[in-house]
Amino acid sequence: MDFPQELSVKEITEIIQGQALGDENAKALGLNELHVVRQGDVTFVDHPKYYNKVLNSSASVVIINKEVPSPEGKTLILHDQPFKAFNMLINKFRAFKSSDKFVSESAKIGKNTVIQPGAFIGNNVTIGDDCIIHANVSVYDNSVIGNNVIIHSGSVVGADAYYFQKKEGRFSKFHSGGRAVINDDVEIGSNCCIDKGVTADTIIGRGTKFDNHCQVGHDTIIGENCLIGAFAAIAGVTKIEDDVIIWARVAINKDIVIGKGAEILATSAVDKSIEGGITYMGSPVMEVKKYWRNMIFMKQLPDLIRSLKKK
Amino acid sequence: MDFPQELSVKEITEIIQGQALGDENAKALGLNELHVVRQGDVTFVDHPKYYNKVLNSSASVVIINKEVPSPEGKTLILHDQPFKAFNMLINKFRAFKSSDKFVSESAKIGKNTVIQPGAFIGNNVTIGDDCIIHANVSVYDNSVIGNNVIIHSGSVVGADAYYFQKKEGRFSKFHSGGRAVINDDVEIGSNCCIDKGVTADTIIGRGTKFDNHCQVGHDTIIGENCLIGAFAAIAGVTKIEDDVIIWARVAINKDIVIGKGAEILATSAVDKSIEGGITYMGSPVMEVKKYWRNMIFMKQLPDLIRSLKKK
Amino acid sequence: MDFPQELSVKEITEIIQGQALGDENAKALGLNELHVVRQGDVTFVDHPKYYNKVLNSSASVVIINKEVPSPEGKTLILHDQPFKAFNMLINKFRAFKSSDKFVSESAKIGKNTVIQPGAFIGNNVTIGDDCIIHANVSVYDNSVIGNNVIIHSGSVVGADAYYFQKKEGRFSKFHSGGRAVINDDVEIGSNCCIDKGVTADTIIGRGTKFDNHCQVGHDTIIGENCLIGAFAAIAGVTKIEDDVIIWARVAINKDIVIGKGAEILATSAVDKSIEGGITYMGSPVMEVKKYWRNMIFMKQLPDLIRSLKKK
């Protein structure tokens, strides 16, 4: 996420009650988690295992829980709870704000777009032209919806990431500051959930079509012209490339890549990244030919065991 | 779907910009896809593979992309994109119309029926007597709901079919002109989705009870007194006969028949039509006895392999 | 459920049109089904198989369809349809009442709690302090929500149990008189369904966090600080102890216990009670080590069969 305007390290240390270890006048433009961090961003690290990775990332400012030498061009901020500090920073600029109206006054709605009764459009939402937002859809703050998009009843766009940190036996919420971005010509079925990104965006590519009851986790990026069948469970931080076809009730793990044009048959579960252009089935998935060959062997198992017992 | 009044072939050719190949004064009463077409209907065909089937169907008017001899009693209309033309015809009479109110003024609501706050009842919907439509239910235009029906919060009745045609790498929507029809004494749990038919009706039989998070695809017909467990994924154009019991998280393929009184145990997937009166389990399903026998063999597999390796 | 005030057996017989077989002045404080019945409660029994169990339960008043000797300290009420009579009693005190407003006037809402547009809060609901109830959430009558609870859009709390009795080929509804109780610091994702108890409560323990599309059946009790992944299908009358972690798309059977700290990996199905402190996978689940070992054997099966055929 971007800050509403440039912030100095000094301003950041005041918000999070931390201690600058370098130039207090250094500037930051936004913040992001490690996997999507950009130059100009604040990020954080709270475990020695990741110190190296974060200190060598593109981040310009790092909130850290140990005094270490600052890498060239980076400013460190010392804080004994970097996760909490990062959360404070998100909340400073993206805290949940209530809305009195079904369509917030700060939402921008395009030409010929229809918002049906009971649809909720949060603060700072942008919706393009020629869309239909059906009854009882909920669009959370800051979501971006393109042109010619249809969202069916009961679907929820931009709700919080499912993202917690365990501390002394209890879970504390990581506040989500990212957005859900739905591009042109997308259709979303009824009762789907597209969560917002944690610090970056969850993105649905142009022309992709969802059936009912689908779930897309935070920070996941789905390409163009995909078909996503009913009850798809797509976890967070995953990338689905263009022209992928997913049949009903498929589960897809987090942090993986589904290659362009892959086809995943119904009730399958994908645990690892898979190549494009191939049809898959099973739980975990394998190429569909192999799956069916295995099924034939499985059918032979009872006779095999019986014949071996006779010997 | 039926047209609001009889149309002549001449009127149809004007709407779709096609060319009549026969009697311009021939009449049509409605339209339907091939699998549910009735005498008096318009239908369409755009692939030589299906020409014969469509030209021998009950349809009275056929939109076709090739000049062929008209069968006795049928009128053909030539159009280079029959799918698009058929869509234009549906849209002419069933285009989405927005509604300003939670309960449309054209909806008919029976005696003693309660509509809770936030429930949306679209244009031309009919609801019978003694129903409870809970908060935040969405009922799309033209749906028909009988007497003594309960629909729990978040459920969506009559949303569009998940039905697209790929053309030059992009998906174009087939506009749904059918309806969702819910008969007497049905109960629908929370957050269910019952899609409308494409040109005919999706029908839920009298006395059938759904748990939460169920999905019923377009044009599917479910019989009387069925129990449908949570997370049922029932695809389109399928027939479930009376007295079927479906436990939780069952997936049912499109275009199949589940026989009367069949029982399908939890987490199963049904890929082909199955006979009634039998209990099934597995993915794909088999008779439950066979399933458990196979499970016993599966358990013996590790020991079998170990003993063979010793030889 | 508790009655609004103490009732005498005489008053109860008048409501249900039954015949007291003992002291008409005996008192009852509430009612419950056998598995949660307390001293002071009315319960019912309609099958000889359960007579002994019910007559030896903690119940103070039993509606029964046969004249049998009253156990010490219990009063029996004779009725030819005990299920129907029990239902009448629930309906007398907990019948569905409609509400004209999104937030019922009888609901109690705590300090700093935000109710977003389109959220429905039913009669006699209690919500604590510092909660966020997002747009288009539905909270049914009598539900209890603690402090610092977040409920995301489209979720439904306290809808009716999925509970029917078959009689002459048709299903009659068992009216639910219990409640859904959500304790402090719980977060519920989008489009979840937490059903109410039938006569007792469905309870979600403090600090437990749900992802989207989860289902919790009637009378189920979930402990503190659990993580419940997307599409969890948790059936009724089950107990999940504290600190349990459930990954995405797990199915959990009714009437079982998941031990403290158990972890259940994605797409698993739990059919029996399982011990705490262990990680499980599979359908049905087994310890994860065993699951992976079995998968290795499965992979060897094709080669095994090929080599045996050569012999």
Q: C218: closest CA among C201, C204, C240?
A: C201
Q: Where in chain B is the domain with CATH 2.160.10.10?
A: 108-288
Residue type, A218: H
Instruction: Tell me what pLDDT residue C58 has.
Output: 95
3-state secondary structure A11-22: HHHHHHCCEECC
Instruction: Tell me what pLDDT residue C303 has.
Output: 82
Instruction: Tell me what pLDDT residue B180 has.
Output: 98
**pLDDT at residue A260 tops 90:** yes
**Which residues of chain B neighbour C160 with C-beta distances below 8 Å?**
150, 152
Instruction: Tell me what pLDDT residue A24 has.
Output: 93
Instruction: Tell me what pLDDT residue A311 has.
Output: 64
**pLDDT at residue C310 tops 80:** no
Residue C51's SS3 state is helix
What beta strand segments (E) does A14-98 contain? 19-20, 27-31, 41-45, 61-64, 75-78
pLDDT-based confidence at residue C301 (cuts at 50, 70, 90): confident
Mean pLDDT of B55-69: 95
Q: What is the pLDDT of residues B19-28, one digit of tens each?
A: 999 899 999 9
Instruction: Tell me what pLDDT residue C311 has.
Output: 64
Which CATH fold would you assign to the domain C2-93? 3.40.1390
If residue C139 lies in a helix (H) or strand (E), which one and from where to where? strand C138-139
Q: Among partner residues A98, A193, A297, which is closest to C212 by beta-carbon distance?
A: A193
CA distances from C213 to B195, B209, C210, C250 (A): 19, 20, 9, 12
Q: Where in chain B is the domain with CATH 3.40.1390.10?
A: 2-93
| Chains in contact with B, counting 3 or more C-beta pairs less than 8 Å apart as contact | A, C
Q: Are strands C245-246 and C285-287 parallel, antiparallel or unpaired?
A: unpaired
Is there a contact between C213 and A235 if contact means CB atoms under 8 Å apart?
Answer: no
Q: What is the pLDDT of residues C159-175, one digit of tens each?
A: 999 999 998 899 999 99
Sheet holding B41-45, edge to edge: B2-8, B27-31, B41-45, B61-64, B75-78, B19-20
CA distances from A102 to A97, A150, A188, A251, B118 (A): 14, 18, 20, 33, 11
Average pLDDT score over chain C: 95
Instruction: Tell me what pLDDT residue B167 has.
Output: 86
Average pLDDT score over chain B: 95
**pLDDT at residue A307 tops 90:** no
CB pairs under 8 A between A and C: 120
Flag the least confident range among A70-79, A268-277, C149-158: A70-79
Mean pLDDT of A254-276: 98
Is there a contact between B98 and A118 if contact means CB atoms under 8 Å apart?
Answer: no
Residue C306 C-alpha, separation from nearest chain A C-alpha, in angstroms: 9
Mean pLDDT of B128-143: 98
What beta strand segments (E) does B9-149 contain? 19-20, 27-31, 41-45, 61-64, 75-78, 108-109, 114-115, 120-121, 126-127, 132-133, 138-139, 144-145
**Which residues of chain A neighbour C266 with C-beta distances below 8 Å?**
251, 253, 269
Neighbours of A17 (CB within 10 A): 11
pLDDT-based confidence at residue B153 (cuts at 50, 70, 90): very high
Q: Among partner residues C118, C152, C249, which is closest to A159 by beta-carbon distance?
A: C152
Query: Which class does domain A108-288 fall in?
Result: mainly beta
Flag the least confident range among A188-192, A297-301, C82-86: A297-301
Q: What is the pLDDT of residues C99-134, one digit of tens each?
A: 989 999 999 999 999 999 999 999 999 999 999 999
Q: Is A24 exposed, middle or buried (0-12, 13-18, 19+ CB in 10 A)?
A: middle
Instruction: Tell me what pLDDT residue B311 has.
Output: 64
**Which residues of chain B neighbour C154 with C-beta distances below 8 Å?**
136, 154, 191
CA dihedral A212, A218, A220, A226 (to 10 degrees): 10
Which residue in C has a C-alpha nearest to residue A193's C-alpha? C190
- C190, C215, C283, best to mutate vs chain B, most B CBs in 10 Å: C215
Do B236 and B159 form a contact (C-beta atoms < 8 A)? no
Q: Is A47 a catalytic residue?
A: no
Q: What is the pLDDT of residues C88-105, one digit of tens each?
A: 999 999 889 999 899 999
Q: What is the ipTM of this complex?
A: 0.94
Which residue in C has a C-alpha nearest to residue B229's C-alpha? C162
Residues of B at the C interface (Cβ-Cβ below 8 Å)?
114, 116-118, 132, 134-136, 150, 152-154, 185, 187, 189-191, 207, 209, 211-213, 225, 227, 230-231, 243, 248-249, 266-267, 298, 301-302, 305, 308
CA distance A119 to A81: 39
**pLDDT at residue B156 tops 80:** yes
Mean pLDDT of C129-157: 98
pLDDT-based confidence at residue A308 (cuts at 50, 70, 90): confident
Task: Judge if the upstream peptide bond of residue B4 is cis by omega within 30 degrees of 0.
Answer: no
**pLDDT at residue B162 tops 90:** yes
